[in-house]
Structure 1
Amino acid sequence: MLVSVSAVVLLGLLIWFLVHIRYLRLPDVVLSGTFGFLLAATGAAPLVRAVLTGLSAFLGQLSF
């Protein structure tokens, strides 16, 4: 759960930054958000969650 909250916060900040520099317009954000909510209600949601969990585990094991 902590990873998904962190991902949401990070993506939210990225979207805010892109809107702020006018690279991403508000209708794009609304469309992307709507797509995300609809995707979360489908059978693909567990697969997306598993991919994000695996990716975060991989990135967590990297040492710089």
Structure 2
Amino acid sequence: MVLSVSAVVLLGIALAVLLRARRLGALAATVAVLFGFFLASTGLADPIRTALSSLAHLVTQISI
């Protein structure tokens, strides 16, 4: 039996462990950059981009 795990899943787990352990050094930054790089090439890239765009638009509409 062959088990295939995506690089996005592995990097996401590694990033969660590093953040939970409060080890936010160069390794965590590298993992975060790689996670973002690989996540951008998945099917989640467009929904994430749309959600962030909507959030930015919402924030600009807030007037105090």
What is the TM-score normalised by the length of structure 2? 0.62
| CA displacement at 1:44 relative to structure 2 | 0.4
- 1:36 aligned partner: 36
The one-letter code matched in structure 2 to 1:30 is T
Equivalent residue pairs, number: 42
The one-letter code matched in structure 2 to 1:58 is L
In percent, how many aligned pairs have the same letter? 33
Matches within 5 A, 1:1-64: 24-64=24-64
Task: Give the structure, 1 or 2, with the largest relative contact order (CA under 8 Å, sep 6 or more).
Answer: 1
Deviations 1:4-33 (A, max 9, x none): xxxxxxxxxxxxxxxxxxx73010000000
User: Which structure shows the higher helix fraction?
Assistant: 1
Unpaired segments ≥5 residues, structure 2: 1-22
List structure 1 runs of 4+ shifted beyond 3 angstroms.
Answer: none
